[in-house]
């Protein structure tokens, strides 16, 4: 993904603009959750590549997967190219303590590559290791993200349009140089997703929760909230990655 304030600067695509709606909707905060599997799709916030945000009642990817139909809450619908969509998310906010917006620091975990790190014992382990080493990443981190995103299914397509091992939205794939079916090539998909992870590590000074929140919800959202956003989907995503990395439970300071 999920810059997610301006993340996909190259992925505007065609289609008509949405003037009044975007102006009203820009007050909303963009995040993203990648969900795998077929079936009816429903979400509430759609982040555009130009920074606009639409609140929608539901959405449907059209035949071929290159366009999406957005049903508006007040009635009517828009049909837009997928390349204009940066992120799609469920608008579900958890209650948080306003005095404790910053989650606790995670246990020590080396995000960057080190010689002692081993090849992950997962599908595509050798490819993940070589890709991670090339981009200076801990292979365990890349493997954990690929596992959470696609369960290592190179042809996975979420009902929100994310694709491949690292579940890249079309605009994200284009941002990192992928075209068409290249997104389903494991080596290319892993390379693009790893480049994005590396960029996020630099952007957020190696803060793992924020890096993962950026990958899931967009760095623009993390910037806006000055930390992990209060979206249940994003916080659960971080917890899943922490579990896969053996870092124990991540406390998100949300209140039930």
18-47: pLDDT as tens digits: 444 333 333 333 333 333 333 444 547 887
- Distance between start and end Cα atoms, the chain: 28
CA dist., res. 221 & res. 227, Å (int)? 8
What share of the chain has pLDDT > 70, as a percent? 75
Cα(180)–Cα(198) distance, rounded to whole angstroms? 23
Q: What is the pLDDT of residue 135?
A: 98
**Helix, strand or coil for residue 245?**
coil
pLDDT at 116: 96
- Domain boundaries defined on the chain: 19-95, 108-248
Q: How far apart are CA 149 and CA 165, in angstroms?
A: 7
pLDDT for 58 beyond 80? yes
What is the structure's pLDDT at 15?
39
Distances (CA, A) of 181 to 39, 145, 164, 177: 22, 21, 10, 12
Instruction: Read off the pLDDT band of 63 (50, 70, 90).
Output: confident
pLDDT of amino acid 103: 52
Give all strands of the β-sheet with 67-71 in edge-to-edge order: 58-61, 67-71, 77-81
Helix (H, G, I), strand (E, B) or coil at 85: strand
Closest by Cα among 38, 40, 254 to 157: 38
CATH of span 108-248: 1.10.530.10
Which contiguous run of DSSP H or E holds residue 63?
A: none
Answer yes or no: pTM beyond 0.85. no
For tokens 């950026």, the residue is 214
Per-residue pLDDT tens over the stretch 67-96? 999 999 888 999 999 998 877 877 777 765
Instruction: Indicate whether 99 pLDDT > 60.
Output: no
236: three-class secondary structure by DSSP = helix
* pLDDT reading at 123 higher than 50: yes
Give the per-residue pLDDT at 39. 42
Q: State the Cα–Cα distance between residues 69 and 79, nearest whole angstrom.
A: 4
Give mean pLDDT, residues 158-181. Answer: 92
Q: Catalytic residue numbers?
A: 149
List the structure tokens of 174: 């284009």
Mean pLDDT of 134-160: 96
pLDDT, residue 143, reads: 98
Provide the mean pLDDT of the chain: 79
């Amino acid at each position: 993904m999920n810059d997610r304030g301006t993340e996909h600067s190259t992925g505007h695509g065609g289609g008509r603009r949405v003037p009044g709606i975007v102006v009203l909707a820009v007050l909303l905060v963009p995040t993203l959750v990648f969900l795998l599997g077929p079936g009816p799709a429903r979400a509430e916030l759609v982040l555009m590549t130009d920074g606009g945000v639409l609140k929608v009642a539901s959405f449907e990817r059209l035949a071929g997967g290159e366009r999406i139909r957005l049903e508006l809450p007040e009635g009517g619908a828009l049909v837009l190219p997928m390349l204009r969509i940066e992120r799609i998310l469920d608008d579900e906010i958890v209650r948080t303590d306003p005095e404790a917006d910053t989650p606790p620091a995670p246990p020590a975990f080396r995000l960057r590559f080190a010689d002692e790190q081993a090849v992950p014992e997962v599908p595509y382990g050798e490819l993940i290791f070589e890709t991670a080493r090339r981009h200076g990443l801990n292979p365990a981190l890349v493997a954990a993200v690929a596992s959470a995103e696609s369960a290592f299914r190179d042809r996975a397509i979420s009902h929100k349009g994310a694709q491949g091992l690292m579940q890249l939205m079309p605009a994200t794939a284009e941002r990192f140089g992928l075209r068409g079916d290249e997104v389903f090539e494991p080596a290319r998909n892993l390379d693009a997703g790893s480049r994005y992870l590396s960029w996020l590590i630099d952007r957020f000074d190696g803060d793992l929760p924020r890096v993962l929140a950026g990958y899931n919800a967009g760095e623009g959202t993390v910037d806006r909230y000055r930390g992990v956003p209060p979206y249940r989907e994003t916080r659960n995503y971080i917890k899943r990655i922490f579990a896969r990395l053996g870092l124990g439970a991540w406390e998100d300071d949300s209140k039930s």
